[in-house]
């Protein structure tokens, strides 16, 4: 097998949560472009159906399934839909996420819990639901954040804590499942990419972040998607329990 062949996902089946916008769409398209059938999950069913349709119109295989990752039964239903349609699950991308920017002195318990429930609990329920069916050689990729390892001038305690927890979850699941079940578990910590979350930031704030970036621009979605393909594919077959930071260098300044 050539080096390039190791990046292919031909005949593999990949589930992507949070696949209705931003990085989730880029991840789904990249996985499809490298040969995978994709199962797209999100709460916004209209957008989700549009993404699936665009992939099938381009010659790929895709289905959309509504999911609420905070509900373990909904996560199990998403895994079941993948098995019913394609008969297997090879890749799980835990991309569903939400964030807030509320000062810690004013953040309510419900606000904090809502972020952790999606970002951390939801990733765990999806990993449970899919891990029961994954065969050796499968891959789970959790989407953490650069804010799990650095601060960025906004009050984001719930988001930062949930993403740091996701990095810990990544290490523990890798420890439990890689040796025993042959399932690799890794994470990506993206920096600033054009997503719904970053579209809410002011240009002044984004300029302040660019001044910290060694590559002084926002990332392109395909740059993060390329890292995902590597972690999902046999090209990274000796990598597990790791968090790969894709941030233009902001976390080291």
When mean pLDDT is compared across 2-11, 47-56, 58-67, 100-109, the lowest value belongs to: 100-109
Task: Using the predicted structure, report yes or no on whether residue 23 has a pLDDT greater than 90.
Answer: yes
What digits encode the pLDDT tens for the residues 86-108? 999 999 999 999 988 889 999 99
pLDDT of residue 90: 98
**pLDDT class for 210, splitting at 50, 70, 90?**
confident
Q: Give the percent of the chain with pLDDT over 90.
A: 86
Q: Residues with Cβ < 8 Å from 36, sequence gap 6 or more?
A: 9, 10, 12, 13, 14, 90, 91, 232
pLDDT of residue 196: 72
Q: What share of the chain is helix, strand, coil (3-state, %, to 5)?
A: 50, 15, 35
User: What does pTM read for this prediction?
Assistant: 0.95
Average pLDDT over every residue of 36-55: 96
107 near 100, Cβ under 8 Å?
Answer: yes
Which positions are annotated as active-site residues?
159
Partners of residue 101 on adjacent β-strands:
none
pLDDT of residue 48: 95
Q: Give the percent of the chain with pLDDT over 70.
A: 100
Mean per-residue pLDDT of the chain? 95
Element (H, E) at 46: helix 45-57
**Tokens, residue 52:** 């699936």
Cβ atoms within 10 A of the Cβ of 61, count? 16
Average pLDDT over every residue of 111-120: 97
pLDDT of residue 71: 98
Q: Which CATH number fits domain 8-243: 3.40.50.2300, 3.40.30.10, 3.40.50.720, 3.30.70.20?
A: 3.40.50.720
């Amino acid at each position: 097998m050539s080096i390039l062949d190791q990046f292919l996902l031909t005949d593999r089946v990949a589930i992507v949560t949070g696949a209705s916008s931003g990085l989730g769409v880029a991840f789904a398209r990249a996985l499809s472009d490298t040969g995978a059938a994709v199962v797209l999950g999100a709460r916004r069913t209209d957008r989700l159906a549009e993404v699936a349709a665009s992939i099938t119109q381009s010659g790929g295989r895709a289905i959309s399934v509504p999911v609420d990752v905070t509900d373990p039964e909904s996560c199990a239903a998403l895994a079941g839909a993948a098995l019913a349609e394609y008969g297997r699950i090879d890749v799980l991308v835990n991309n569903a996420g939400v964030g807030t920017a509320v000062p810690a002195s004013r953040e309510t318990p419900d606000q904090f819990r809502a972020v952790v429930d999606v970002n951390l609990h939801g990733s765990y329920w999806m990993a449970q639901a899919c891990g029961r069916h994954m065969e050796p050689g499968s891959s789970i990729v959790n989407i953490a954040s650069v804010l799990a390892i650095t601060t960025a001038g906004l009050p984001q305690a719930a988001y930062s804590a949930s993403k740091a927890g996701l990095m810990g979850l990544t290490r523990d699941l890798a420890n439990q499942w890689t040796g025993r079940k042959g399932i690799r578990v890794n994470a990506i910590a993206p920096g600033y990419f054009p997503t719904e979350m970053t579209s809410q930031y002011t240009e002044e704030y984004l300029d302040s972040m660019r001044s910290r970036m060694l590559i002084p621009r926002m990332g392109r979605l395909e740059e993060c998607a390329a890292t995902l393909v590597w972690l999902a594919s046999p090209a990274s077959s000796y990598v597990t329990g790791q968090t790969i930071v894709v941030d233009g260098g902001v976390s080291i300044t």
